[in-house]
């Protein structure tokens, strides 16, 4: 079922790029628990890849967008002033405006503008070449670092990584749903399970003390949770990522 669904998705993407339409068949596959790498492993791939590939991976890591959404991005979708990217929906998702880091903006701006209005690619062949180049670079980095886990990281793995880390950080399923552009919350619930399993035995916290009402408000706005009162002050904590 998975191979058939992938073929349907690939042909649908091709038709979208060429202006064609069709009524795709629907296949219901068995959903497997995805592999979630550590942030260090994601960063190892980013730092070890070529400039263009590293930028693509950093984009997927920060935004959780699908690779198909990334390939559709144009330079007009990038807003340097607000540090955001607009993405068009894919696979019946919702459109989003996503905040990105100054680091990613600098990486994007350093790319040569070889694809017209598109940031990354403009043809089906270029997308295939992009995937093949990633596989080659991933293999080289995994061999160099002697870490076979890197071979399990795909473009879509970084979407799962983003969803899992966002839920672990916020415990807000609606926030994760909005970040990923899901229309059905059932698709987002996977990240509750992943976060709980991954961090069950390694919860780490940052603690802060609030001595005034202003201190307490600032900590709450920064995502800290109230724990208890101690010696006239209030103790707050927040999960480390």
Q: What is the CA radius of gyration of the chain?
A: 20
Considering the chain, what percentage of its residues have pLDDT values greater than 70? 88
Q: What is the mean pLDDT of residues 70-95?
A: 91
Residue 47 lies in a domain: yes
**pLDDT-based confidence at 241, cuts 50/70/90?**
low
Q: How many helices (H) and strands (E) does the chain have?
A: 11, 6
CATH code for the domain of 51: 1.10.443.10
How many domains, the chain? 2
Per-residue pLDDT at 159: 96
Looking at the fold, whether 55 and 95 belong to one and the same domain comes out as: yes
Mean pLDDT in residue range 2-26 = 68
Mean pLDDT, to the nearest integer, of 61-74?
95
Mean pLDDT of 129-138: 95
**In percent, how much of the chain has pLDDT > 90?**
57
Strand 233-239 with 205-210, pairing: antiparallel
In a domain, 195, yes or no: no
Q: Do residue 217 and residue 139 come from a single domain?
A: no
Q: Which two tokens stand for residue 11?
A: 């042909």
The verdict on residue 180 lying in a domain is no
Judge whether 81 lies within some domain.
Answer: yes
pLDDT of 1 above 50: no
**Looking at the structure, do residues 51 and 165 belong to the same domain, yes or no?**
yes
How much is the mean pLDDT over the chain? 87
Which residue, chain included where needed, has tokens 């340097």?
80
Q: Are residues 42 and 122 in the same domain?
A: yes
Q: Please tell me the distance from the alpha carbon of residue 111 to that of residue 121, in angstroms, as a whole number.
A: 12
pTM for this model (two decimals): 0.73
Same domain flag for 224 and 116: no
Tokens 């961090």 map to which residue?
199
What is the band of 227 on the pLDDT scale with cuts at 50, 70, 90? confident
Q: Are 48 and 162 part of one and the same domain?
A: yes
213 found inside a domain? yes
H or E stretch including 234? strand 233-239
Label residue 3 by pLDDT band (50, 70, 90): low
Domain housing 221: 205-239
- 57 lies in some domain: yes
Shared domain check, 211 and 164:
no
**Rounded Cα distance, 185 and 140, in Å:** 38
Q: Domain for residue 93, yes or no? A: yes
As a whole number of Å, the end-to-end CA separation of the chain is 35
For residue 96, the model assigns a pLDDT of 94
CA distances from 149 to 42, 134, 141, 161 (A): 10, 15, 11, 14
């Amino acid at each position: 079922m998975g191979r058939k669904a992938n073929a349907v998705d690939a042909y649908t993407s091709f038709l979208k790029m060429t202006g064609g339409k069709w009524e795709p068949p629907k296949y219901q596959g068995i959903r497997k628990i995805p592999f979630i790498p550590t942030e260090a492993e994601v960063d190892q791939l980013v730092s070890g890849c070529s400039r263009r590939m590293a930028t693509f991976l950093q984009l997927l890591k920060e935004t959780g967008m699908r690779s198909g959404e990334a390939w559709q991005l144009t330079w007009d979708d990038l807003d340097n002033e607000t540090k955001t990217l607009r993405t068009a929906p894919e696979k019946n998702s919702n459109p989003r405006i996503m905040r990105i880091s100054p680091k990613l903006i600098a990486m994007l701006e350093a790319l040569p503008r070889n694809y017209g209005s598109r940031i990354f690619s403009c043809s089906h062949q270029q997308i295939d070449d992009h995937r093949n180049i990633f596989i080659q670079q991933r293999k080289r980095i995994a061999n160099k670092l002697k870490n076979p886990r890197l071979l399990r990281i795909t473009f879509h793995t970084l979407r799962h990584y983003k969803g899992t880390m966002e839920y672990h950080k916020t415990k807000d399923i609606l926030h994760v749903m909005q970040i990923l552009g899901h229309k059905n919350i059932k698709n987002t619930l996977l990240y509750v399970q992943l976060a709980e399993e991954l961090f069950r035995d390694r919860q780490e916290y940052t603690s802060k003390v609030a001595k005034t009402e202003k201190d307490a408000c600032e900590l709450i706005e920064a995502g800290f949770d109230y724990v208890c009162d101690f010696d006239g002050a209030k103790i707050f904590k927040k999960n480390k990522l």
